[in-house]
Amino acid sequence: MAVAADPKVAIIYGSPSDANVMSKAGAMLDRFGVGYEEVSISAHRAPRALVEWISGLAPRGIEVIIAGAGLSAALPGVCAAHSSMPVIGVPIKGGALDGLDALLSISQMPPGVPVACVGLDNATNAAVLAVQIIAGHDPSLRTKLEEFKESFEQAAEAGLAR
Ligand code: RP5
């Protein structure tokens, strides 16, 4: 498990094969100077270890969970079931349905147990959303987010935006 000093975000994924996609979340959190910890635990293959890990998050000061998984992606939902902190799910492409299964699994949570679902493989947006959640009580992060958004405006004006 990788842990930064004073982590605010926990990044978890169901398999080491998800690490490459999920590294985009860490890269974006680094850009905002938000500390995070990162771990791979499968909801299906290691359910007891997962529940134990979730129970330690709040005492460690974690505020948001980013959970990525592919196939029958139970991981974000299990995190949401066992925690009251916001959970952002990243459906990961792959398998016979190329991620459609994970997308539906993560987005179709029952009422009362929400998971905020970003697009397929879009761990970058999961990190930006996590920063936006934490910025609710952190004015310096709000300033960084405003500068981040402004950079899109400037790129568009310069004709560089896609
Ligand atoms: C899911 O199954 C994981 O999140 C991963 O996306 C997918 C394949 O896992 P591996 O067979 O590569 O471990 O649980």
The whole-number pLDDT of residue 159 equals 81
Q: What is the pLDDT of residues 127-162, one digit of tens each?
A: 999 999 999 999 999 999 999 999 988 888 888 655
Atom of ligand 1 nearest to the CA of 42: 14
Beta strands 2-3 and 36-40 are antiparallel
Q: What is the pLDDT of residues 96-120, one digit of tens each?
A: 999 999 999 999 999 999 999 999 9
The whole-number pLDDT of residue 4 equals 66
The whole-number pLDDT of residue 71 equals 98
The preferred substitution site among 21, 71, 98 for testing ligand 1, maximizing ligand atoms within 8 Å of CB, is: 71
Q: What is the pLDDT of residues 7-33, one digit of tens each?
A: 999 999 999 999 999 999 999 999 999
Q: What is the pLDDT of residues 28-74, one digit of tens each?
A: 999 999 999 999 999 999 999 999 999 999 999 999 999 999 999 99
Q: Give me the helix-helix angle, 123-134 and 19-32, nearest 10°.
A: 30
Strands (E), the chain: 2-3, 9-13, 36-40, 64-70, 87-92, 116-117
The preferred substitution site among 12, 18, 40 for testing ligand 1, maximizing ligand atoms within 8 Å of CB, is: 18
Supply the pTM of this predicted model. Answer: 0.95
How long is the chain? 162
